[in-house]
């Protein structure tokens, strides 16, 4: 699935039913998760090229029983880029139990999932950057006139 909920996923990332299919290796929550099926780096970008924040995900090694721990391991890196510049980087170490990787500060336009080997990702949280609203001068003028009117009404009532 190349696009989901406003985000583009590279061809190395596939959405799978991890509970009710032959790939029942266990989702962290729900039924579905993301499989990096080529062992390379999976890349996620916002559909319209906008910046976004990375607010966390759970990951584990592929083909391991749900929360199995175990000796299968993969080492890699989770990275956020903005305009081609590395903004942050987190070293990763996975086994058969889901490991949480928390939010990182700053806006990015590309998230790279390089956990090493073939891995599962679940409960990923990405949030599009919503620009702050800027008040228009007309809105401020109307607000100011309203306050001025309240002041005159109060003054008249006191007299």
Provide CB contacts within 8 A for 83, sequence distance 6+.
109
> Pick from 106, 103, 108, 104: which is nearest to 82 by CA?
108
pLDDT at 31 over 80: yes
Q: What is the pTM of this model?
A: 0.77
Q: Kindly report, residue by residue over 70-110, the tens digit of the pLDDT.
A: 778 899 999 999 999 999 999 999 999 999 999 999 999 99
CB atoms under 10 Å from CB of 129, counted, come to: 12
Give the whole-number percent of the chain exceeding pLDDT 70: 80
Q: What pLDDT, on the 0 to 100 scale, is given for residue 134?
A: 46
Across the chain, mean pLDDT equals 84
Coil, strand or helix: which one is 146?
helix
Q: What is the residue whose two structure tokens read 């008040």?
A: 135
Percent of the chain whose predicted confidence (pLDDT) is above 90? 50
Distance (Å, whole) CA 59 – CA 77: 12
In the chain the first and final C-alpha atoms are separated, in Å, by 71
Coil, strand, or helix at residue 82?
A: strand
What residues contact residue 21 under an 8 Å CB cut-off, 6+ apart?
A: none
pLDDT (0 to 100) of residue 133: 45
Assign 9 a pLDDT band (cuts: 50, 70, 90). Answer: very high
Residues 3-133, CATH architecture: Sandwich (2.60)
pLDDT of residue 159: 56
* Three-state DSSP state, 30: coil
Query: How would residue 158 be classed by pLDDT, with cut points 50, 70 and 90?
Result: low
Residue spans of the domains in the chain: they are 3-133
Concatenating the DSSP letter of every residue in 88-145 gives EEEEEEE-SS-EEEE--SS-BSEEEEE-SSSEEEES--EEE--PPP---HHHHHHHHH
């Amino acid at each position: 699935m190349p696009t989901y909920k406003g985000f583009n996923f590279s061809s190395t990332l596939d959405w799978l039913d991890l509970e009710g299919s032959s790939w029942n290796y266990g989702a962290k929550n729900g039924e579905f998760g993301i499989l990096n099926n080529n062992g390379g780096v999976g890349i996620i970008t916002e559909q319209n090229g906008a910046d976004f924040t990375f607010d966390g995900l759970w990951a584990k090694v592929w083909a391991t029983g749900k929360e199995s721990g175990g000796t299968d391991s993969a080492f890699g890196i989770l990275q956020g880029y903005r305009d081609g510049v590395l903004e942050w980087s987190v070293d990763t170490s996975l086994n058969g139990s889901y490991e949480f990787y928390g939010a990182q500060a700053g806006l990015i336009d590309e998230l790279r999932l390089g956990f090493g080997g073939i891995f599962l990702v679940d409960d990923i949280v990405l949030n599009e950057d919503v620009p702050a609203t800027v008040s228009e001068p007309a809105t401020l003028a109307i607000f100011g006139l309203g306050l001025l009117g309240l002041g005159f009404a109060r003054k008249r009532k006191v007299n």
